[in-house]
Amino acid sequence: MHEAIKVSNVSKVFSRGYLRKSHKLVLSGIDLKITEGDRLVIVGESGMGKTTLARIMADLEWPTEGQVLWFGQDIGRMSKKEKRLLRGSVQYVHQDPYSSLHPAKTIFNIVADPLRYAHGLKSKDLRKRVKELMEMVGLTPAEYFFNKYPHHLSGGGRQRLAIARALTTEPRVIIADEPISMIDMSLRASIIKLFKDLNDQYNIAVVLVLHDIGAAKYFTYEKGEVAILYGGKIVEKGEGTKVLDNPLHPYTRVLINSSPVADPELARNRQVEQLRSYAVPIRTPDSKGCPFAHACNYYIEKCLERDPQLVPVEQNHEIACHVFCNRDGVI
């Protein structure tokens, strides 16, 4: 299997101010990859850089350092023409299904226009393909929706439409940033299931950015990888079941233990570790040490000086922590 997207040592710094005085380090040293046909979830809370990472992977923003490879090619060095050819292979679904769809276009046209302009499909073939795509995402009966507008759909329906639109270019990778956070609870699982089905049936690699651990588990419990982001850094990554059932990094453990459970007894009896700080770390290019040190209950002096690197603790499971892992394995 080939690598669909590979992110190598990517960092992103946002500079503000007229004379570029203040610099914010949003991502540092990200190494991530997704193979064709695989599933990946990037888990992070807000302000941790997950949206920036997703956008960099989708070529909607450019890294300050590092490379992004699509199917083995460095997109930072491609000509405009080459990029145009590859653009359709990596699609993106926005978080907000209320603003990612044009309010004045019919549902039919939202899906049909890319097919018309990019693939030159016409009349009967066009209708057939639009119907196919809408059925793939569960908007049936397709014809019922053709002349309606996005505002006639629920949040879940709109997200499905956005996915159908993304499928018009026959992508090999779909990246979705928080696709379910603006949808009702009872409809969220069906959207995740849709991504799973697209992955299974059409071998499309799917990268989801989520803050909901339950959804991350649902998406990866059969197959897939998880990467946990904190302060712009991947602190733990590996096979989904390994990371979520046996978290080793202190942040991941607190995150999972704080996730809502649908069991009142369990909720009341469990002990959730309190962090020393819940503030989002503000990092600059000069910041030293582990971004989690300020909140961690187990920090040692080394944590304040040197940024830990990702080290394997078992097959397909790595963490970046001085305390819970050293070069020889778990402490």
Binding residues (CB under 8 A) for other proteins: these are 45-46, 58, 60, 84, 87-88, 91-92, 94, 96, 99-106, 113-114, 117-118, 147, 154-157, 162, 165-166, 168-169, 184-190, 192-193, 211-215, 217-218, 221, 244, 254-256, 258-268, 272, 275, 278-280
Nearer to other proteins, 27 or 90 (CB): 90
Q: How far is the CB of 308 from other proteins (least distance, A)?
A: 21
Nearer to other proteins, 25 or 175 (CB): 175
Q: How far is the CB of 178 from other proteins (least distance, A)?
A: 12
Contacts of 184 (CB under 8 A, 6+ apart): 154, 155, 156
Q: How far is the CB of 326 from other proteins (least distance, A)?
A: 27
Nearer to other proteins, 124 or 268 (CB): 268
Nearer to other proteins, 36 or 113 (CB): 113
Q: How far is the CB of 17 from other proteins (least distance, A)?
A: 18
Q: How far is the CB of 223 from other proteins (least distance, A)?
A: 12
Across 193-232, the runs of DSSP E, i.e. the strands, are 205-210, 225-230
Tell me how far apart the terminal alpha carbons of the chain are, to the nearest angstrom: 34
Distance separating alpha carbons of residues 208 and 304, to the nearest angstrom: 31
One-letter amino acid for residue 206 of the chain: V
Nearer to other proteins, 17 or 286 (CB): 17
Nearer to other proteins, 13 or 182 (CB): 182
Q: How far is the CB of 262 from other proteins (least distance, A)?
A: 4
Distance separating alpha carbons of residues 319 and 250, to the nearest angstrom: 10
- The residues pairing with 10 across neighbouring beta strands, listed in sequence order, are 30
Q: How far is the CB of 185 from other proteins (least distance, A)?
A: 6
Cα→Cα distances 212→30, 41, 179, 264, Å = 21, 10, 11, 19
DSSP 3-state assignment of 16? strand
Q: How far is the CB of 91 from other proteins (least distance, A)?
A: 6
Nearer to other proteins, 22 or 46 (CB): 46
Nearer to other proteins, 11 or 224 (CB): 224
HSE of 217 in the Cβ direction (CA atoms, 13 Å)?
A: 13
Q: What is the DSSP letter of 40?
A: E
Distance separating alpha carbons of residues 63 and 214, to the nearest angstrom: 30
Distance separating alpha carbons of residues 294 and 163, to the nearest angstrom: 39
Other C-beta atoms closer than 10 Å to the C-beta of 315 total 8
Cα→Cα distances 91→55, 162, 190, 223, 282, Å = 11, 11, 20, 21, 30
